[in-house]
Amino acid sequence: MLDTENIITGTGRSEEMATRSKDQTPDRVTQAGEACDELREALGAVGVVLPSLGLDPVSCTGAAPLGLIDLGRCNIATARALAAALRPRAAG
């Protein structure tokens, strides 16, 4: 799990922005980490492993962190396995 204390600095920001950052960052970043774990588990259940799956560190910093999940890159076999896992849902 990402250590949110290391991404909350508030340096060079107004007190209000630093407070907002402290209020939002743990929630957004924690939620993103939980969603990433859920995605990893769901993909694993259908035999798909995205080796680079994780939080985007740049989006987890700043006054209003977005907490984006980086799906990363994968090889051809993984891309095809992911497509096969998604196909039944799209059809139904």
The one-character DSSP state at 21 is H
Are residues 25 and 8 in contact, defined by beta-carbon separation less than 8 angstroms?
yes
Give the DSSP H/E element, type plus range, for residue 55.
strand 54-55
* Residues 6+ away with beta carbon under 8 Å from 6: none
Report the range of poorest mean pLDDT among 1-15, 34-48, 68-82.
Answer: 1-15
2 or 91: which leads in pLDDT: 91
DSSP-derived 3-state class of residue 40:
helix
Q: Are 53 and 70 in contact (CB under 8 A)?
A: yes
Asked whether the predicted pLDDT for residue 18 surpasses 50, the reply is no
Higher per-residue confidence, 61 vs 9: 61
Q: What are phi and psi of 63, to 5 degrees?
A: -70, -30
